[in-house]
Amino acid sequence: MKVLQGFWFAAFLPVMIVTGIVNVGNGGSRETTIRLPKTGQATCYDSSGDVISCTNTGQDGDLQKGVV
């Protein structure tokens, strides 16, 4: 029985250590908000490099995400 207890401890110790390091690394919170700045991109391009309308392209010029 002691062998099995030692096995489980050895198996889960690395997981507990890594989990502790990750939680300490981000302040113990599992949620992190990153505030990336806007790129200012207003022009969109196709795969050939030609200028296209940004509407519904999903490119940054269409989405305009980020903070000022």
DSSP 8-state code for residue 66: S
**In 1-68, which ranges are E strands?**
44-45, 51-52
User: In the prediction, which pLDDT does 39 show?
Assistant: 94
User: In the prediction, which pLDDT does 40 show?
Assistant: 94
User: In the prediction, which pLDDT does 52 show?
Assistant: 98
Collapse the DSSP code of 59 into the 3-class scheme (helix H, G, I; strand E, B; otherwise coil) and give the result: coil
Q: Name 67's bridge partners.
A: 37
Question: pLDDT of 8-62, one tens digit each?
Answer: 666 666 666 656 555 555 555 677 888 999 999 999 999 999 999 999 999 999 9
Question: pLDDT of 12-27, one tens digit each?
Answer: 666 666 565 555 555 5
DSSP 8-state code for residue 49: S
